[in-house]
Amino acid sequence: MLLKRVVVAAIFVPVLVLFIRWGSIPFLCLTSAIIGVALIEFYQGMASTGRKLLVKEGVALGILVPVSVYLGGEEILPLVLVVVVLSISLRQFFKFHIEASFASVFLTLGGILYISFLLSYLIMLRAIPGLGMRAVLTLFFVTWMGDSGAYFIGIVGGKHKLFPRISPKKSLEGFMGGVLVSCLAIFISQSWLSFPFLHSVILGVLIGVMGQLGDFFESMLKREMKRKDFGFILPGHGGVLDRFDSLLFTTPIFYHYLKYLIIGI
């Protein structure tokens, strides 16, 4: 299991870094692909519980979100939200199926809001002039280092269960260790992205906490579905959604912190 995680990371991370460096259309394509696969995994998981969703429409509209953000920036999000809500609602209406229509509409919309809207902040983050590439690299580095710290510290010294009903193997020691490793990682990132000391501490704690809460939230969804992972495309890691669950929570937090408290864009 650990060997698979290391091998996949050794292959995937350099490719990811390359796309982040390229930015522009290549990074948009990668982000859209990640969102599309994650949505498919999410909808398949929900369908396994007997719910019927608008899968094709959800995936198509979900990919529309990052494309729209790339073309129109953050200001276009309210319009995109209106388009998504109306499109899903009207598609369900013209099916003329009353049964389970509520669940169909709102679970389909829930996947788009949870995955597409949150992860599309990667596009906005990468677009920050003179800072975008380094900011995205820092976000991935700090988030995933926190994940790894929580995982390994939890294995070695985890004794007190944190949320046993949601994720029985995760411990308080692992959680605190993950936050500390995130703080260490953001100080390491100062070699390529310099933030004031206080902001670095706050961001390290925020990313460490929110990343693990993102992981717990996804575990809660999987617990209801009685699934270990959302997918199997990344051996040792699970699916795309399993690998990016922490980033769903840390990306918008990191972007807005930079926007309003550090650079004032």
* 3-state DSSP assignment of residue 171: strand
Per-residue model confidence (pLDDT) at position 223? 82
Per-residue model confidence (pLDDT) at position 102? 83
CA dist., res. 41 & res. 45, Å (int): 6
| Interacting residues of 219 by C-beta distance below 8 A, sequence separation 6+ | 166, 167, 170
Per-residue model confidence (pLDDT) at position 175? 87
Kindly give the parts of the chain with pLDDT less than 50.
none
Which residue is it, tokens 């000391």? 197
What does the DSSP 8-state code read for residue 49?
Answer: T
Amino acid at 56: K
CA dist., res. 26 & res. 23, Å (int): 6
Interhelix angle 101-111/77-93, nearest 10 degrees: 150
| Interacting residues of 243 by C-beta distance below 8 A, sequence separation 6+ | 234, 237
CB atoms near residue 7 (< 10 Å) = 12
48-99 residue pLDDT tens:
888 888 889 999 999 999 999 999 999 999 999 999 999 999 998 888 777 7
The alpha-carbon radius of gyration of the chain (Å, integer) is 19
* 3-state DSSP assignment of residue 238: strand
* 3-state DSSP assignment of residue 51: coil
Please say whether the beta carbons of 254 and 135 come within 8 A.
Answer: yes
CA dist., res. 129 & res. 109, Å (int): 32
Helical (H) or strand (E) element with 111: helix 101-111
CA dist., res. 243 & res. 19, Å (int): 17
Per-residue model confidence (pLDDT) at position 236? 57
